[in-house]
Structure 1
């Protein structure tokens, strides 16, 4: 494999977007494209009403369903050199060669490393399998027609038009969880056609900080998967060739899209939180990052002939964190804002995004109006459902000055969320998963145009399998709440509302519109949109118990109130006095309104260390999470109470069983929170 083929995105800034010199997105006219396409089953398009396959069914079909057939395949011997001259290039050469390996695709044992994919060239579409273009039609009711296939030949200048009001938001989305399920299974299936000799790795970058002091309740997040997904805005090299602008317009690299995806340890839901690129942040100091090399440290200034500083400050917008300090700085800022422990990082640039869309054969979107942007020009010429190519898709998710929208970045975020949902539907359709050539191209584009931290194939496979039975109604897209944009164009975060949102995510509290009764399972796309009903918030599961290792803190950092449920006079006072002598801060004791058999320690989310410290002196391993008591730890003495023990040294590790009080209310969320539920597949 050449150096160019394995280069990270920042090392490809001077490359052409199309290694063979042919810009297939721009130069291939629609007429030629149509002529090259062949007939196709008319049912296997768009949302794949009948072409979808559940992840569970896919795994079953990939497994050794027939015991009488061999489950191992033999590697074909490498051909001997023929000594012939170089072969004349032919269109057929663009198809990916495949090799069978001696391990079945469903085996996890041999997938610890990602197979090497040498094909870094832009994939040529499989014309024989594509459907011909048809005129677009308006949808009536829930009826579906074949979507119009859109390919962009050249940017069309926009005619500025007066703002006609906010375009109705399309509240349709599918499952973000399918990103991991489908990607994992795609990589697994693609392993059929790679030989063991192709053992390259994903492009790696240093991004994560698992020991950050900004992480809230680290023990409470044990087992959670938190992915930071970043769309990188770079105008240099190949990115400029696809209409992204050039380095003179905007040098360096910025985070154009930032999405934090939480998958709790229970694997019962997925939450994707979008951050506006202009979100106001307090400037922080980060290690300098060179986007051209992907390296951290002082950057050489060619104008002055000197090295720059090792540490730099960000500006006041979120996207400046990536521009100045790279992935490390962005992770630092997002962890500070959210309190979530980010343990996976994935970034992809403009070229990579467009190439993945092209490798899929386009992605379906739905718009109630044509889409025109004052800066980018005409993005969608027609309303309705339509399949768009890579360059069009890039403009679709980047457009911020749409003539029919008045909400700026929020309209763009909504489109990004809906596009990602449609992209995932395409990835888990039979058109992709059982078309090995297309599947290979998709994986090639992901590997060659992304860079990651702590992401491996085996991890994605295991994660995908754990999500295969999730209902789409348990997948939620949400945007962080912000205030009124200031004179600098910054969007100030509503810190209290943001804290409530991430507290609910960490504590697995229900989110608005979450519903497990109105959705198909992941991998299934209903032919008619299901009715989405707003589900009243409910408390956590009754008798849900989590076993965690928690570190104790100093008694002087803990405030305790003791309540007596035994009826034995003076018991709470005696316990309170002993706690005070041991260094705890105490409140006046009282009587509990009902009798408990077992002594119980109550605490609010985020106060686990204090609760574990108190539980240890009462000889208890069970603590119960409630809401509304803040930093106070409440101890209710039960019939089993005997004495107060000496506290453990600060920093000791104790095992606790954390239960959730089924009668306690969940975290109160802001009423104007922008939420999209994945079970809603309507187009408005």
Structure 2
């Protein structure tokens, strides 16, 4: 033992990346990102279990619900609006080492190194799991700890939110960063992992090489496709240096491949057509789940029925677009050393597509009379030099905040013009106004908001653009359908697991 951590697991606490030293929240345990597949697979097979009458006992008897004792989730009026009937579930992996988890080593408290947002489309025909790297350097909201101590808002690694205030603090953090309305959370630990894999009769993996990992207690005698039992699968998840570069990010794609393998096995005919295997799998999975108070048995079963016929080709896993800080960024802010930053423009496009469930709301067609033309700019204006103040002229909560985020993703200097509602929320048409010398910049912003009227602001500041959001505002970019943007390294649940190796 060293500092209360099992020495045999200590290598998992210190990821190494060439040229970077990555500090982590003390005591963080081995990754359990594969739990997103357990959660989704559980929902898929629960829908089939209803035919056998087992579901009520499993859902109502096995799953524990957790309350928000300290009010770490923001008040409803301050949370992002729900734009459609899609379902967003935040999945967090807990490294708690009490009870049956004690054999994995002793650490104080509880942390989460796995944060994944599972988005299920409105019709239940598509699902996407978005991984948030644990070392992401982000803005964390104020939260209260388990003892009631106030942890002030601060910048830090994203996994610190869970350590600061538990699952509801992480929930608030992800909603704040993405402006995606989250419906429920699922918290899982790893005590039942081996039992779940064994309940499936083992899970197939594809190793790029043969290796022996003493610390993970794993021997892979050959390269290629092979089936691992629960004990072997636990070692496969724990191994760090035998496959990849030993980093957290280096393992994410391999973990996502494992998610795909679990879903393929759980939804295979050998399991789905056998009531005994279905019952054994879901019983093992649900015993490890803890949810928010609102995720009751009725909602879980309704969602399970909704997604039970989803095609694995329509399930994929991606990671928030990221990069390591440049030497110049680290020099300016030494706290960024070894951290992960998000590629904001790409990340915001991904978040926007999730918010809108791939489809923007329909709007009325605009006529030429609806728009007052302004002169075409002689040259393109650098967005980073344009200040845009955004006002919400509707009663739709959070609309201005999302517009600010979308404009910031396009490099504009965007900010809320007011925290209140403009014109009592009665503005019908979106308007772009401009101060002296802001004509070109206003015309450029107006191109991002089809149908918006443009006008000079009587008391506007020189060069400033004012965006007043009306009832016709549907986001930047206009009407129509937009697909979730392609993310490098994305993995589909239907992929051949030997097609890509770690």
Q: What's the TM-score bracket when you normalise by the shorter of the two chains? A: 0.5 to 0.7
1:677 aligns with 2:499: no
323, 326, 331: which one pairs with 2:171? Answer: 331
Task: Give TM-score, length-normalised by structure 1.
Answer: 0.48
2:197: which partner in 1?
357
How many angstroms apart in 2 are the aligned matches of 1:467 and 1:490?
36
226, 229, 234: which one pairs with 1:394? Answer: 234
1:634: which partner in 2?
451
1:479 aligns with 2:319: yes
How many angstroms apart in 2 are the aligned matches of 1:480 and 1:342?
17
Deviations 1:301-358 (CA, angstroms, capped at 9, x unpaired):
xxxxxxxx35467782222221221111111111122211111111111102222222
Structure 2 SS opposite 1:674: coil
1:206: which partner in 2?
67
1:258 aligns with 2:115: yes
1:306: which partner in 2?
none
Which residues in structure 2 correspond to 1:446-457 (within 5 Å)? 446-453=285-292, 454-457=294-297
261, 264, 277: which one pairs with 1:438? Answer: 277
2:343: which partner in 1?
494
187, 191, 199: which one pairs with 1:347? Answer: 187
1:385: which partner in 2?
225
Structure 1 SS opposite 2:295: coil
In the alignment, is the contact (CA less than 8 A) between 1:366 and 1:385 conserved in 2? yes
**Shift of residue 418, structure 1, vs aligned partner:** 1.6
Structure 2 SS opposite 1:364: strand
In the alignment, is the contact (CA less than 8 A) between 2:92 and 2:187 conserved in 1? yes
In the alignment, is the contact (CA less than 8 A) between 2:44 and 2:307 conserved in 1? no
1:411: which partner in 2?
250
Q: CA RMSD in A?
A: 4.8
**Shift of residue 206, structure 1, vs aligned partner:** 2.7
Deviations 1:589-608 (CA, angstroms, capped at 9, x unpaired):
99xxxxxxxxxxxx999559
1:184: which partner in 2?
46
Alignment CA distance shift 1:214-1:389 (3 Å): farther
In the alignment, is the contact (CA less than 8 A) between 2:429 and 2:473 conserved in 1? no
Structure 2 SS opposite 1:505: helix
How many angstroms apart in 1 are the aligned matches of 2:287 and 2:213?
30
In the alignment, is the contact (CA less than 8 A) between 1:231 and 1:347 conserved in 2? yes
Structure 1 SS opposite 2:321: coil
Unmatched runs of 5 consecutive residues or more in structure 1: 1-153, 158-162, 164-173, 290-296, 299-308, 510-539, 548-562, 574-586, 591-602, 619-626, 638-653
2:14: which partner in 1?
none
1:565: which partner in 2?
368
In the alignment, is the contact (CA less than 8 A) between 1:472 and 1:679 conserved in 2? yes
Alignment CA distance shift 1:194-1:223 (3 Å): closer
1:503 aligns with 2:360: no
Task: Give TM-score, length-normalised by structure 2.
Answer: 0.63
Which residues in structure 2 correspond to 1:124-143 (within 5 Å)? none
How many angstroms apart in 2 are the aligned matches of 1:631 and 1:213?
27
90, 98, 119: which one pairs with 1:228? Answer: 90
More helix by share: 2
Unmatched runs of 5 consecutive residues or more in structure 2: 1-7, 12-16, 18-35, 331-335, 377-398, 405-420, 432-443, 455-469
Deviations 1:258-306 (CA, angstroms, capped at 9, x unpaired):
11011232434211101112222334431112xxxxxxx34xxxxxxxx
